[in-house]
Amino acid sequence: MGVEIAKTLIIIPAYNEEAKIASVIGGIKEYFSGVGVLVVDDGSNDRTRLQAIEAGAKVISHPFNLGYGTALQTGYKYALIKGYEAIIQIDGDGQHDPSFIPDLFAVIQREEADIAIASRFLETKGIRPESQRYEAPFIRKLGIKFFGTITSLIIRQKITDPTSGYQAMNWRVLEWVSSDKFPCDYPDADVIIMLHRSGFQIREVPVRMFENRDKRSMHSGWKPIYYIFKMFLSIFVTLMRK
């Protein structure tokens, strides 16, 4: 008894990723064939949608840009409507290595946890040392470590990569994240804490991620300051709920 691949959906939120989306979809089909692939095009104004359709994925296009978290949630709602038993979410910019999808899926299939989160910071054997090093800007690494530590303290379980959007979840978590409880702007460490408080089992899986050499608009300007404010406030009110 476990989840079949046919009842699993891969969700790829994408915003203006015409250059990378086809190879991401191709990579998924290479490592995990027989699975449904859904691209949520978050109001891209390039050829992301066409590229994704050509690569063999289903595409939902938002009428305008709603943000990464909302794009994910649209994918969740679709999966719920269609009766999928598990989903795996992977970024559309090629940062997440699709060869680890089977590892994430295995955790859900074997019912070892309700949600599996890929971490680039977990020490592990079997992964070549040079491919383990993820070079992120120092401040960002500091921020991840900081919120990872806070999260680990609160849920009393070691979390090394709280910002990782590379995850697998079963249908019970799917119901939760499709609801209003899911924080659509910057879903991150606060989601992990909320899930834990709702009684879900969380497991981290070591993976390799690639560097993104292009500048990401998600982390520019005032956003890092707002992100820190939002995370603190969100975590604080989460602890006050229930």
Partner 1 sequence: MPIRNKIVALAFGIGMLLLIIEMVRRRKLREEYSWLWLMTGAFILLLALWFDLLKWITHLIGAVVPSSTIFLFAFLFLILISLHFSVVISKLTDRNKELAQKHALLELEFNEFKKGYPPQGTVLS
Q: Give residues in contact with partner 1 (CB under 8 A).
A: 49-50, 61, 63-64, 180, 183, 185, 226, 229-230, 233-234, 236-237, 240-241
| End-to-end CA gap in the chain | 33
Nearer to partner 1, 145 or 230 (CB): 230
**Residue 181: CB minimum distance to partner 1, A:** 8
**Residue 52: CB minimum distance to partner 1, A:** 12
Nearer to partner 1, 166 or 176 (CB): 176
**Residue 134: CB minimum distance to partner 1, A:** 28
Nearer to partner 1, 34 or 63 (CB): 63
One-letter amino acid for residue 13 of the chain = P
CA diameter of the chain: 48
H or E segment and range at residue 228 = helix 223-240
**Residue 99: CB minimum distance to partner 1, A:** 32
Number of neighbours of residue 183 by Cβ within 10 angstroms: 18
Q: What is the C-alpha to C-alpha distance for residues 42 and 14, in angstroms, rounded to an integer?
A: 6
H or E segment and range at residue 232 = helix 223-240
Residue 189: name the closest of 232, 225, 220 by CA: 232
Q: What is the C-alpha to C-alpha distance for residues 96 and 46, in angstroms, rounded to an integer?
A: 22
Angle between helices 21-31 and 101-109 (to 10 degrees): 50
Nearer to partner 1, 103 or 185 (CB): 185
Nearer to partner 1, 6 or 239 (CB): 239
**Residue 148: CB minimum distance to partner 1, A:** 20
